């Protein structure tokens, strides 16, 4: 009987090893999924929103200086997209680390990796440190000026989660932080647009970010009131329609100023100004303040509008090259 038992034990051990390996793979997959959710990998809309200021600045510079070589366009787009991805991922991580206790009390965010326990606080902090180092290294490879602008951008991102605790207008900080890519691209490109164009573009994009993120934040307004955190969705609630329209008008006015200063062609003014104004104003006219589910549409709207702005600039670039 004893040899038979030993034999069965030996026969079972490969199965046990396979089961252990499978269990380890499952654990690794869950951990990987947790960090993927931490940086919102499955929700790329915000990454493209952050990339748009880079792309728009590059397109404006290309139009102003007679076009760019296709390889330069691909190279800069690849680098700017990487910066946008790392910057957005970093911002998500620091936001969740700072808000882990608050997120657990909000219906929309209680399933995030930290409050749900899928990622440890220590693991998230070490991950954040690695992201910061990578972010700085990416800026350092270009120039000292870009590194300085990169550190400003990094500081804006790291401090953003704290703004809701110290100010009633955290979306204004977000507007600058999310669109600082304008100055990063301006500093990076060998021939950037005029600084006045970059300033107007940043102001306009910041105003638009405040507009759509305030709409998006309305879905958390009741939770934010209970928790005592600041938000323009709370501060401007008594005059919300006027506030949103003001932001939208500033956005469109700055687009017009950018077009005039950069001497853009008709495609820009038709698409980047006209179509954008129609889309934004139409959304504001149709916004139902009594339907909470309509507020979630603000984020894809923000990405779509930014893409249309870029499309108009690129259209001008292509036409100018064809008829040069």
pLDDT digits (tens, 9 = 90+) for 3-21: 555 444 445 566 666 666 6
Does the residue 60 lie in any domain? no
Residues 155 and 265 grouped into a single domain: no
Residue 283 neighbours by CB under 8 Å, 6+ apart = 297, 301
Does the residue 29 lie in any domain? no
pTM across the whole model: 0.86
Q: What is the pLDDT of residue 272?
A: 96
Please give the average per-residue pLDDT across 70-90, as a whole number: 89
Q: What is the pLDDT of residue 1?
A: 47
Could you tell me the two tokens for 306? 């930014």
User: Which stretches of the chain are DSSP H helices?
Assistant: 2-38, 45-64, 70-98, 100-103, 113-116, 121-140, 144-166, 170-179, 181-188, 195-217, 221-227, 232-235, 240-261, 266-267, 276-286, 298-322
Residues 118 and 136 grouped into a single domain: yes
CATH number for position 134 = 1.10.357.140
Beta-carbon count within 10 A of 286 CB: 8
Q: Is 39:124 a contact under the CB 8 Å cutoff?
A: no
Beta-carbon count within 10 A of 281 CB: 14
Residues 254 and 158 grouped into a single domain: no
Pick the last residue of a domain from 146, 165, 192: 192
Number of independent structural domains in the chain: 2
Residue 270 neighbours by CB under 8 Å, 6+ apart = 312
Sign of the torsion angle spanned by Cα atoms 128, 129, 134, 139: positive
Q: Is 258:276 a contact under the CB 8 Å cutoff?
A: no
| Angle value at C-alpha 259, between 256 and 263, nearest 5 degrees | 145
Residues 297 and 206 grouped into a single domain: yes
Q: What is the pLDDT of residue 24?
A: 66
Please give the average per-residue pLDDT across 158-186, as a whole number: 91
Residues 177 and 230 grouped into a single domain: no
Residue 63 neighbours by CB under 8 Å, 6+ apart = 262, 264, 313, 316, 317, 320
**Ranges 25-29, 91-95, 228-232: which has the least confidence:** 25-29
Distance (Å, whole) CA 164 – CA 161: 6
pLDDT at 298 over 60: yes
Q: What is the pLDDT of residue 113?
A: 85
Residues 178 and 217 grouped into a single domain: no
Residues 223 and 144 grouped into a single domain: no
pLDDT at 125 over 80: yes
Its domain, for residue 117, covers: 68-192
Distance (Å, whole) CA 271 – CA 265: 11
Could you tell me the two tokens for 16? 């046990």
CATH number for position 248 = 1.20.120.1780
Distance (Å, whole) CA 309 – CA 54: 12
Residues 30-45 as b or e (16 or more Cβ within 10 Å = b): eeeebbebbbbeeeee
Pick the last residue of a domain from 192, 214, 245: 192
pLDDT digits (tens, 9 = 90+) for 184-225: 999 999 888 899 999 999 999 999 999 999 999 888 888 778
pLDDT digits (tens, 9 = 90+) for 127-164: 999 999 999 999 998 899 999 999 999 999 889 888 88
Please give the average per-residue pLDDT across 89-108, as a whole number: 83
Please give the average per-residue pLDDT across 15-40, as a whole number: 75
Q: What is the pLDDT of residue 17?
A: 64
Distance (Å, whole) CA 87 – CA 138: 11
Q: Give the DSSP letter of residue 237.
A: G
Pick the last residue of a domain from 173, 192, 211: 192
**Ranges 18-27, 63-72, 108-117, 281-290: which has the least confidence:** 18-27
Residues 151 and 261 grouped into a single domain: no
Q: Is 139:146 a contact under the CB 8 Å cutoff?
A: yes
Does the residue 272 lie in any domain? yes
Beta-carbon count within 10 A of 237 CB: 15
């Amino acid at each position: 009987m004893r040899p038979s038992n030993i034999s069965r034990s030996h026969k079972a051990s490969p199965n046990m090893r396979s089961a252990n390996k499978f269990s380890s793979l499952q654990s690794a997959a869950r951990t990987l999924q947790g960090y993927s959710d931490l940086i919102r990998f499955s929700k790329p809309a915000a990454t493209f929103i952050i990339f748009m200021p880079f792309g728009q600045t590059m397109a404006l510079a290309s139009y102003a200086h007679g076009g760019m070589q296709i390889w330069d366009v691909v190279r800069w787009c690849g680098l700017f997209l990487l910066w946008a991805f790392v910057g957005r991922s970093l911002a998500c991580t620091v936001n969740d680390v700072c808000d882990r206790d608050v997120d657990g009390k909000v219906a929309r965010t209680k399933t995030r990796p930290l409050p749900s326990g899928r990622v440890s606080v220590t693991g998230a902090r070490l991950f954040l440190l690695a992201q910061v180092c990578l972010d700085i290294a990416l800026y350092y490879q270009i120039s000292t000026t870009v590194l300085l602008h990169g550190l400003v951008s990094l500081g804006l991102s790291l401090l953003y989660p704290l703004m809701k605790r110290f100010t009633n207008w955290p979306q204004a900080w977000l507007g600058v932080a999310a669109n600082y890519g304008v100055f990063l691209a301006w500093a990076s490109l060998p021939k950037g647009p005029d600084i006045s164009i970059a300033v107007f573009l940043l102001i306009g994009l910041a105003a638009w970010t405040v507009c759509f993120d305030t709409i998006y934040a309305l879905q958390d307004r009741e939770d934010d009131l209970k928790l005592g955190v600041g938000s323009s969705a709370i501060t401007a609630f008594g005059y919300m329609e006027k506030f949103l329209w003001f932001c939208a008008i500033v956005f469109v006015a700055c687009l017009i100023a950018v077009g005039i200063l950069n001497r853009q062609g008709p495609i820009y003014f038709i698409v980047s100004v006209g179509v954008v104004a129609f889309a934004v104003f139409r959304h504001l006219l149709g916004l139902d303040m009594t339907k909470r589910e309509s507020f979630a549409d603000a984020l894809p709207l923000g990405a779509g509008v930014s893409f249309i702005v870029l499309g108009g600039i690129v259209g001008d670039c292509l036409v100018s090259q064809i008829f040069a």
